[in-house]
Chain A
Amino acid sequence: MVITMLSRVADSLYWMSRNIERAENNARVLSVQLIHMLEAQNQEAADRDWEEIVEVCASAKDYYSLYDRLDRETMIQYLTISPFNVNSLMNCMNFARENARSTRDILPEELWEVLNAFHLDQKDWQELPNTRQHTQDYLDRVIKTSMTSQGVIESSMSRGTPYTFIKVGKWLERAEKTARILNVTCEKNRKEADVPTDHYYYWLTALQFLNGYDAYIKEHPPTMESKHVLSFLIKEGTFPRSIRYCMDHVMEAVNKLEGGKISHYSEDLFQMLELIQDEITSTNIEEMDMNELMSFLDHFQDRCMTLSRMFSQTYYLIEPVHVK
Chain B
Amino acid sequence: MLTNYQTGVYFDEMMKQDGEPKRHYQWFYQLVNQFTERDLMKKHETAQLNFLRQGITFTVYNHTGGTERTMPFDFVPIIIPRQDWEEIEKGMKQRMTALNHFLEDIYHDQEIVEAGIIPRELIENNPYYYNKQVSGIDIPLRNHIFLAGVDLIRDENGQYRVLEDNLRNPSGMSYVFQNRYVMRQVYPELFFQHSIETLEHQLSELHQAVTSHLPANADPHKSATAVLLTPGIYNSAYYDHVFLAQQMGIELVEGRDLIVKNDVVYMKTIKGLKRVDIIYRRIDDDFLDPEAFRPDSALGVSGLLRAYRKGNVSILNGIGNGVADDKAMYVYVPDMIRFYLEEEPIIPNVETYFLSDPERLDYVLDNIHELVVKNVGASGGYDMLIGPQSEESEREEFKKKIIENPHQYIAQPTIKLSRAPAYQEGRFYPCHVDLRVFVMNGEKTNVLPGGLSRVALKEGSLVVNSSQGGGGKDTWILTESGDHHA
Contact = CB atoms under 8 A, between A and B. Distances in A.
Nearest to B267: A6
Interface in A1-44: 3-8, 10
A136 interface: no
A102 B271 contact: no
Interface in A177-234: none
Interface stretch (A52-60, A299-307, A315-323): A315-323
A308 interface: no
Interface string B263-276: 00011111111100
A4 B55 contact: no
A255 B273 CA distance: 22
Interface stretch (B182-190, B215-223, B249-257, B470-478): B249-257
A68 interface: no
B233 interface: yes
B429 to A, nearest CB: 29
A113 interface: yes
Contacts of B233: 98, 101-102
B52 interface: yes
A277 interface: no
B53 A117 contact: yes
A105 B252 contact: yes
A78 interface: no
Measured as residues with beta carbon below 8 angstroms from the partner, the interface class of chain B is 20 to 34
Contacts of B254: 8
A5 B415 CA distance: 51
Contacts of B76: none
Given A4-B271, A324-B271, A112 B55 contact: yes
A104 B242 contact: yes
Interface residues of A, number: 27
A66 interface: no
B273 A323 contact: yes
Contacts of B294: none
B261 interface: yes
Interface string A97-113: 01001101110010011
A120 B259 CA distance: 36
B272 A105 contact: no
A157 B254 CA distance: 24
A321 B274 contact: no
B253 to A, nearest CB: 6
Given A6-B257, A6-B268, A116-B54, 16 more contacts: A4-B274, A6-B253, A8-B256, A104-B242, A104-B246, A105-B242, A112-B55, A120-B52, A316-B268, A316-B270, A317-B270, A321-B259, A321-B268, A322-B272, A323-B272, A324-B272
The 4 A-B pairs of least Cβ separation, nearest first, read: A324-B272, A105-B246, A315-B270, A321-B268
Interface of B: 52-55, 232-233, 238, 242, 245-246, 251-254, 256-257, 259, 261, 266-274
Interface of A: 3-8, 10, 98, 101-102, 104-106, 109, 112-113, 116-117, 120, 161, 315-317, 321-324
